[in-house]
Structures are given as structure tokens and as C-alpha cells.
């Protein structure tokens, strides 16, 4: 970075930095508003599938069948099972 010697150069550099700052703030707002991907939180849809999982699992339905029935991946079913097992272990 070159040394600023005049007031005009300083004002120009300030304007450049303010513009860059505004662009970064806009990008930050985008990321704040963006929907997070990955596993779903325990919302109504999650709870509905979990409740169906519990009923099916306790009735001996295979995990693969539970996945097909609910339109989710087998990995998601294993997450539900881990959650189920943790709750059973707690009490």
C-alpha cells in the first residue's frame, strides 16, 4: 500500500474503503438471510416424520422401509434412530 501524501488522496482512499465496506455489508446481509442447508431443525415436519418413525420402528418395520415411506434418505432414518435411542437411554 502506497503512502498517502495529500488530502485528495486520503479522501479518495476513504471513498474506496467506504464502497468496499458497503459491498461487504450487503454480502453479510445475504448470508444472514440465507436459508441454512443441512439437517432440519426440529420443526413440525421433522416431528411428524419422527413420530411416524417411532411408530414404525416399535412395530418392527425395517429402517429402509421407513425411509421410503417418508421420502427421506436412509442416513436421515439413522439420525432419527440415534435421537430415539438417546431419548430411550435418558429415561
What pLDDT is stored for residue 77 in this prediction? 94
pLDDT for 27 equals 93
pLDDT value at position 32? 83
Q: Give the helix ranges, DSSP H, for 7-73.
A: 7-33, 44-58, 63-70
Average pLDDT of each block of 10 consecutive residues along the chain (91 residues)? 88 95 94 71 86 95 95 93 92 76
User: Over the Cα atoms of the chain, what is R_g?
Assistant: 26
Q: Are 81 and 57 in contact (CB under 8 A)?
A: yes
Query: Does the predicted model carry a pTM greater than 0.75?
Result: no
Amino acid at each position: 500500500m502506497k503512502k498517502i501524501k495529500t488530502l485528495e488522496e486520503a479522501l479518495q482512499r476513504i471513498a474506496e474503503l467506504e464502497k468496499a465496506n458497503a459491498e461487504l455489508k450487503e454480502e453479510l446481509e445475504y448470508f444472514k438471510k440465507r436459508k441454512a442447508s443441512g439437517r432440519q431443525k426440529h420443526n413440525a415436519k421433522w416431528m411428524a416424520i419422527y413420530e411416524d418413525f417411532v411408530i414404525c420402528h416399535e412395530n418392527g418395520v425395517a429402517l429402509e422401509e421407513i425411509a421410503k415411506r417418508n421420502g427421506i434418505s436412509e442416513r436421515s432414518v439413522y439420525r432419527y434412530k440415534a435421537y430415539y435411542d438417546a431419548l430411550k437411554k435418558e429415561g
